[in-house]
Structure 1
Amino acid sequence: MARIVAIDYGIKRTGIAVTDDFQIIASGLTTIASETAIAFLTDYFQKEKVEMVLVGEPKQMDGTPSQSAEIIEKFVALFKKNFPDMPLTRVDERFTSKMAFQTMIDSGLKKKQRQNKALIDEIAATIMLQDYLSRK
């Protein structure tokens, strides 16, 4: 089997999570500057076998697209252009950032550590990926 990569794409930062080769466990990989996402993924895909990529789909409570949806759609188009053979699945990412923050609190991280927005993005991608795995 190959890995699944989850991307929590944002205006400034992008959180990335991956599964193990057996697609059982989701783990945070890193947070990168969003403008470097395609270059990072190109390098990662050359080093690791990846079966599919999940990209978060931001929605409002009523199911309509959120303000950041347009930015993410541009990224998705760029992704498909650069990786036309890589399967891409969109997944609902509502509440993942709030859940990531709560996870940090529950883990006992100090207030200063919880202010690390890069860590929040990485945890949000991990939550999105683990949720996908549990529904699969």
Structure 2
Amino acid sequence: MRIMAFDYGTKRIGIAITDPMQIIATGLSTVHPKDIWTFLADYLTKEEVETFVVGKPLQMDGSASESFQHIKGFVRKLKKTYPLIPIVEVDERFTSKMASQVIAQSELKKSKRQEKGLVDTVSATIILQTYMDTKI
């Protein structure tokens, strides 16, 4: 079974997924928040997901950031819609910055590196990898 991670934003949600053996975290997609429920319903008919991991935006002092309210609503609906899939929240303080650095150092063409959704997908992958590293 797979683990799915989300980097939730009000404009885009980055999504990452593990392989069925939960060894490798891979960016899956970037979806508009209004489309996430259709996306999940479709994906979960094809693949089994055992855990959802959601990036939790915190301030440097560990307190909740402004965007935390949006994530709370997303997590609440995720729990209600998929009550049998546990949800884990992971500190995502530096993921966007790390994602931007990874993309800048990649060998992708400039046009591909400038896609806004790429940062969200890479951020979700970093969130997922962080969670996987803590499970070992």
- Once residues 111 and 46 of structure 1 are traced to their aligned partners in structure 2, the CA distance between those partners, rounded to angstroms, is 35
Q: Secondary structure at the match of 2:124?
A: helix
Matches of 1:21 and 1:125, distance apart in 2: 17
2-structure distance, mates of 1:50, 1:112: 33
Deviations 1:72-114 (A, max 9, x none): 1111111111111111111111110100000011113354433
The within-5 A match list for 1:94-105 is: 94-105=93-104
- So what's the TM-score if we normalise by structure 2? 0.94
* CA drift at 1:115: 2.4
Q: What 5-or-longer segments of structure 2 have no aligned partner?
A: none
Residue correspondence of structure 1 range 1-136 to structure 2 within 5 A: 2-136=1-135
Detail structure 1 runs of 4+ shifted over 6 Å in the superposition. Answer: none
Q: Quote the Cα distance in structure 2 between the aligned partners of 1:38 and 1:76.
A: 12
- Equivalent pairs counted in the alignment come to 135
What percentage of aligned pairs have identical amino acids?
53
Aligned amino acid, residue 118 of structure 1: G
Deviation of the 1:64 alpha carbon = 0.6
C-alpha distance in structure 2 between counterparts of 1:29 and 1:108, whole Å? 19
